[in-house]
Amino acid sequence: MLEAKLAEAGTLKKLLDAIKELVTDANFECNEEGINLQAMDNSHVALVAVHLEAAGFKRYRCDRPMPLGVNLTSLTKVLKCAKDDDITTLKAADEADVLNLVYEAKNSDRIAEYDMKLMDIDSDTLGIPDTEYDARVTMPSAEFTRVVRDLSQLGESVRIEVSKEGVRFASEGEAANGSVLMKQTDDDEDTQAITIEMNQHVSLTFSLKYLVNFSKSASLCPRVQLMMSNDVPLLVAYDFGQGYIRYYLAPKIGDD
């Protein structure tokens, strides 16, 4: 059986906030090390990978590996019934067809319980190859969110270019063009710092719609990492106390 107790429902809510826009149904793969989710969006342009490690739960027990097939819209609705600071326990028996969610209020005796139907989802776990990236940019999540939102007002695509100058986001629209250059800052201790590690110049174009979606995970972590190499998917990574959420996005090629 599975029993996973989280200190706050808010963590799960924030995780689902961005994923539910990309993926309809997905398996939460549970094992003794924690809970993983890996899924592609319908158009097979983006891949999302989530890991919640067992040590990050208040209590965690998973007797054997089990997939929990979940409709993410339904799970989001059930989680809306919890307050962000409710202690949340996920339970499922072996071969279960329901996921049981229990919310305990921190400051009162309120305990709410919900059962959600599970689904059988055929999904292949995709091997994500280990890539040596040519450029790695670490920046404040809020800045990344702002840049992609601003540029999405102008056009559908953004060119991300990492050079000795810094990292440049550029978008060309029918009515206007825009570009934002961010230079490396020296103070690594500053959470607002921008750090750039680069082996070679990288310039790739991506769909802004997806990047705006990914940026919804900013609420999980104040820093975001962008990792790029020419001709391979961009990796957008948010590492937070209990695990990580990573997005992989294929670059746009030519005029498509």
Percent of the chain at pLDDT > 70 equals 96
Q: What residues make up the domain containing 218?
A: 135-249
Question: Is the pLDDT assigned to residue 188 strictly greater than 90?
Answer: no
For the chain, give the mean pLDDT.
93
- pLDDT tens for 195-211 read 999 999 999 999 999 99
Confidence bin at 256 (pLDDT 50/70/90): very low
Quote the pLDDT of residue 107.
Answer: 87
In a domain, 124, yes or no: no
Q: Looking at the structure, do residues 48 and 113 belong to the same domain, yes or no?
A: yes
Burial of 193 (0-12, 13-18, 19+ CB in 10 A): middle
| Whole-structure pTM value | 0.93
Report, as an integer, the average pLDDT of 179-195: 84
CA 76 to chain centroid, in Å, comes to 15
In a domain, 6, yes or no: yes
Confidence bin at 49 (pLDDT 50/70/90): very high
In a domain, 125, yes or no: no
Structural domain tally of the chain? 2
Question: Is the pLDDT assigned to residue 255 strictly greater than 80?
Answer: no
For residue 133, the number of C-alpha atoms closer than 13 Å in the C-beta half-sphere is 18
Determine the Cα–Cα distance for residues 174 and 241; give it in Å rounded to an integer: 42
Confidence bin at 124 (pLDDT 50/70/90): low
Determine the Cα–Cα distance for residues 177 and 242; give it in Å rounded to an integer: 39
Determine the Cα–Cα distance for residues 105 and 102; give it in Å rounded to an integer: 10
The pair of three-digit structure tokens given for residue 37, joined into one six-digit string: 């989710």
Specify the pairing of strand 223-228 against strand 234-240.
Answer: antiparallel
Determine the Cα–Cα distance for residues 215 and 143; give it in Å rounded to an integer: 10
Q: Looking at the structure, do residues 96 and 150 belong to the same domain, yes or no?
A: no
Q: Looking at the structure, do residues 64 and 158 belong to the same domain, yes or no?
A: no
Quote the pLDDT of residue 189.
Answer: 66
Confidence bin at 118 (pLDDT 50/70/90): very high
Query: Using N-to-C axis directions, what is the helix angle for 9-22 and 72-80, rounded to 10°?
Result: 150
Q: Looking at the structure, do residues 217 and 152 belong to the same domain, yes or no?
A: yes
